[in-house]
Structures are given as C-alpha cells and as structure tokens.
Structure 1
Amino acid sequence: MKKALLQLNAAVFLWGFTGVLGRLISLSETWLVWYRLLITVASLWLLYGLQKKIQKLPTKSILYIGLIGTIQALHWVCFYGSIKYSNVTISLTCLSTSALLSSLLEPLVLKKRFDPFEILLGLFAIAGIVVIYNTHLNFSVGIIIGLISALLTVIVSVLNKKMIDTYEPKSITLYQLTGGFVGLSILLPVYNYLFHIPLAKPAPLDWLWLVILSWVCTIFTFFLYIRSLKNISAFTMNLTLTLEPVYGILLAFLIFHENEVFNNWFYLGFGLIILAVALHTARIVMKKH
C-alpha cells in the first residue's frame, strides 16, 4: 500500500511538472504537442512491439478510441496554449476545475440526475474563476483557453469510462495516443494556416525537454499510475489526482517565481476553487462510508 501510494504521488508530481516543461519549450502549443505525441507514440509502438503486447481491437473501437485521443490532443494544445498566453499557474488553476466540471457534465452524458450540492460547488469554482479573471485581465486569453482545456479533459474522462471496462488500459492508451497524433497531424495544417504558424523545428534544448516530457512525464508516469491502481482504492486515486495542479503551481512559484505577478484577489479566487474541490472530495468520502 505504501509503495503504491508513493508511485501514485510520483506520477501526479510528474504530471504537475508538465506545465513547467511547457513553459521551457520554445515551440508553439500545436507543434509542442505534435512532437510530444510523435516521440511518445513511436516509443510505445516500439516498446509494445518488442514485448509482443499489442492487442488487436475491432476497427470501430479503434476509431472511437482514436477520436477520444484527438480530443485529448486538443486538450494538451489548449493546456499549453494557456501557458503561452498567461503562465503555468493560471493554466493549472483552470485545470483544477475539471473535477467539478466532470460532476456537472457526467449527468448529461451518462443520463444521471443532477446533484444540487455539486451544482453549488460548481458555482463556487465559477466564482473563483470570475474573481481571478476580473482582477487579472492581462491573463484573460490564457484563462479562457485554460477553461476550454479543462472542459476537453473532462470530455475525455467521461468518454473513457465507456471503454475502460472493455479493453486493457495499456491498449486504450496506445490507440488513444496514436489517434491523437493522427488527428492532430490532420488538423495541424489547417490550424497553422488560420493562425499563420510556420513549420517549426525544436531547438537542441527543446529536444531534451520533449524527451523528458514524452518518456518521463507521459510513458513512465502511466506505468507508475497503472501499477499503483492495483493496490489503492479509487477514492485514494481521485484524492491524489487533485494534487496535480497544486504540485505544478508550487513548482511554477519555485522555478519561475510566478507568485510575484499575482495580487491577493488571485489567492481569494484560487481559495474558492480549492474549497469547492475539497468539499467535493469530502462528500465522496462520506458516500463511500
């Protein structure tokens, strides 16, 4: 149990570190995600091929999982776009609303009843975002893109719930990331044309950050995450996952000193969001017991 918890926290910490890498890499958000997926997908196919662990899935399932992967890729594009237009802290603050957005979106997709208490918590989170937005208008574009990023990751989470009981997580990850790479490759020329973004090649130092992002923060963290799930409860997993934005924000404060650009209103807004997330988590605990 202790080892599994350490593995999960290590995975979540490394996921929080992806925001820092996003700021360090000089590429635009679309090319950053494209190269990340290129390295990750090529590495996974090679790894699983050598281990003979590639599971054949029905074509319909591959297309469905690939579509989810494309949405995942767009989430990453928005996440890193939010960082480029604001900073790591703003992007992760917006991402921290995803658990509450999920509780509001799931009833629509899975045809469940809306929970009035969760709607109230969602309003708390919205209030926090409004406070941050109105008092940090220089980050307004980054906040909007960050909220779109949070919404997209919720959509991915909800859609994945329909597949997770059917196929192994490794197979879902392989085909999802592959679908994300293919989907983004198709959309990339259109995006670059509309926003006048030229073909970009990573600088020498960018390659180092991209390899770390792909191998350490994507593939290695996935293996840590999967191994930890064998010995911990779903609640412990969800509780620990809420720490991802916290780890990332603390790293941004430490490395980039981003805390120096915020006023007290930011901490009030962030506090409202964290309070909503904490109450949401506490309610899950009470339901479990």
Structure 2
Amino acid sequence: MYSVQRKSYLQLHLAVLLFGFAAILGDLINLTAVVLVWWRLFITLLSLPFLVNILHEWRKTNRKFLWQWAGIGILVALHWIAFFASIKLANASVALVCLATATVFTSFFEPIFNRSAINLFEVVLALLVVPCMILIVSDLDVSLIKGVWAGLLSAALLSLFGVLNKRMIHHGHPMFITFVELGSGWLLIGIYLLVSNTTSMQVLPVGTDWLYLVLLAIGCTTFGYVLVLYSLKHLSAFTAMLAFNLEPVYGMILAFFLLGDASQLSSTFYIGGILIIILVFLHAFLQKRLSSKIDNKKKKKS
C-alpha cells in the first residue's frame, strides 16, 4: 500500500512539474498567445480519442450537459490565452506568480456560485495578497506591467473555471468532459482567426515550434492530466490541492534556470511571489483543519 501511495505521489508531482513546464514552452514558442492556444487545443484533442470512446460517451450524455461543458470550455481557452499573453507581455515568472492568486479569486467566486456564506478568513487572505502584489510590481519594469494584468486575468478565469467545473465534473467521463471543453474552446478560437485579419499574423508553426507544441499538448496537457487521474485514485483531495499549489514554484524554478528570468526581475518580485505562495499553503492547511473540526463535531452529534 505504501509503495502504491508513493508511486501516486510521484505521479502527481510529475504532473504538476509538467504543468509548470508549460510556461517555459509558452515562452519558447514563437507564436501569438491566441494561435499558440489554438494549436495546443488542436493537438490535445487529437490525442484524447485514444483515451476515451468519444462516440459512446457522446450518445449517452444529456445534451444539456454538453452545452454546459462547452461554455466552461470557453473559459479554459480564455484562461490559456491570458496566461500565454502574460508570458509574451512579461515573462514566465510573472505569469506563474499571478497564477498563484487563483485561490484568492476562488474565495470570492465560490460563495457567489454555491450561494454560501462568505468565509471571513478567505477575505482576510485576499486582502493580504494585495500588499504582496504591490511588492511584486514596485520594482517591475513598466514594460512588464501589462503582463501582470494578463496574468491576473488568467488566474481569475482559472478560478472561475474551477468553481464551475467542480459542479459539472460528476456528470460524465472526465476525459470526455475535457474533450468537449477543449473542443468548444478550439472552435471559438478557430472562428475568431477566420473572421479576423490574420494576414500579418504567423499562424503556422515553424522549426522547433512544432516540437515545443507537441511537448506542450501531449506532455504537459494530455499526459499530465492522465497522471493526475491515476494519482487521485490513491491520494486525498487535500494532498492533490497542496501539490497543485506547487505549480508556480516548480515553474519559477525552471524559468530561473532555463530562461534567465532573474535578469528582468528584482528581489522584491521574488519576495512578493514567495509570500503569496506561503499564503496559499496557509489557506490550504487552515481549511483542512477547519474541515476536520466540522467533521468531528458531526461525528459527536451522531
């Protein structure tokens, strides 16, 4: 049992490392954020039929759920566009630090969509993130500020996607839901590229871009997602949540060594980023303790 759990733990962290590596590949690919995401979605969609019987799942699924998944998929596409735009406008480290604020946005979105009471602790957490963001941008070059805004938009969209997807994930096969969500995003971006003026835009990848796109789609998306699904069979949701919070950490370490982002960033940027990540982990631990106390009270009453 121990060896199975250890294997699952390694699978989960490998998946998170791959998700963090996506930012590195996004920096290396010489395409605009919109075109990059279109290709990422397209190649990923080609791989999914090898993992799930698409036609079988399509026939047995309620059409209402298909439309809802498709709507959520548009959020995924917009999140990825904003994330890679942040990388292009600033760098991978800026995009990843901003991504760490997704937990803060979730503290506001969850009460709205779940019609639950606002958690005071989470509001305090959100307020504490503000001075951290001020630290991050205080010595940041003006040319990188647009990347911060795009990164925060990416985090907000990721949070919104997470809250909505959590309500819908139990209505079908996870891989099929992913296929529908990514398919709707791919179609939307495709329509945009068709109707917009793309004559001055590089649409076809060249040279090493093809290799990076395949690694991004198959390695960092499909394979990463499969690793997560396998690992969650033997790990708790809390363990998974903590691991996912490490994505910005892994990504920033990779960016530091592989991209040389440190030359563009000051010490205050990294201090602010580390403080945000600490707050995210603090939130996870305190939330776990609160849940345990509530469960214990319920057991005593029963």
- Look up the match of 2:281: 278
Separation in structure 1 between the aligned mates of residue 170 and residue 51 of structure 2, nearest angstrom: 24
Q: Residue 44 of structure 1: CA displacement?
A: 1.6
Kept in 2: contact 1:70–1:184 (CA 8 A): no
1:122-145 CA-to-partner distances (Å, cap 9, x unmatched) read 111122112222321331100000
Deviates more, 1:88-97 or 1:274-283: 274-283
Aligned residue number for residue 175 of structure 2 = 170
Residue 107 in structure 1 maps to residue 103 in structure 2: no
Aligned position for 1:268: 271
Q: Could you say what secondary structure the match of 1:230 adopts?
A: coil
Aligned length: 286
Cα deviation, 1:40-93, whole Å, max 9, x if unaligned, reads 1122235535x9764432222111101111110110000000000000000000
Match of 1:90 in 2: 94
C-alpha separation in 1, matches of 2:194 and 2:135:
37
The C-alpha deviation readout for 1:130-163, integer Å capped at 9, x for no partner, is 2222321331100000000000011111110111
Counterpart mapping for 1:124-143 below 5 A: 124-136=128-140, 137-143=142-148
Greater CA drift, 258-267 or 229-238: 258-267
Instruction: Establish whether residue 181 from structure 1 lines up as the match of residue 186 from structure 2.
Output: yes
Corresponding residue number in structure 2 for 1:36: 40
CA distance in 1, matches of 2:215, 2:84: 16
8 A contact 1:127–1:272 mirrored in 2: no
Q: 2:216 aligns with which of 165, 188, 213?
A: 213
How far 1:186 moved relative to its partner? 2.2
Report SS of the residue matched to 1:162.
helix
The Cα RMSD (Å) is 1.8
Q: Secondary structure at the match of 1:26?
A: coil
Partner of 1:8: 12
Relative to structure 2, which stretch is displaced further, 273-282 or 129-138? 129-138
Q: Which runs of 5+ in 2 are unaligned?
A: 293-302
Cα 1:110/1:197, change in 2 over 3 Å: farther
Answer yes or no: is 1:151 the counterpart of 2:138: no
Per the alignment, in what secondary structure is the counterpart of residue 52 of structure 2? Answer: helix
User: 2:14, 2:187 → 1: CA distance?
Assistant: 30
Rounded Cα–Cα distance in structure 2 between residues aligned with 1:43 and 1:54? 16
Q: Name the residue aligned to 1:256.
A: 259
CA distance in 2, matches of 1:179, 1:95: 23
Q: Which shifted more, 119-128 or 145-154?
A: 119-128
Instruction: Provide TM-score, normalisation by structure 2.
Output: 0.89
**Other-structure match for 2:297:** none
Shift of 1:189: 4.0
CA distance in 2: counterparts of 1:268 and 1:235, whole angstroms: 26
Q: What is the identity, as a one-letter code, of the residue corresponding to 1:216?
A: G
Deviation string 1:179-201 (CA, Å, 9 cap, x unpaired) is 111122223345x44x9852521
Q: Which has the larger radius of gyration?
A: 2
5+ residue gaps, structure 1: none
Alignment correspondent of 1:228:
231
Q: Report sequence identity in percent.
A: 37
> Is 1:81 matched up with 2:85?
yes
Q: Distance in 2 between matches of 1:110 and 1:48?
A: 30
1:249-285 CA distance string (max 9 Å, x none): 0000010111222222212321331231122012023
* Displacement of 1:166: 1.8
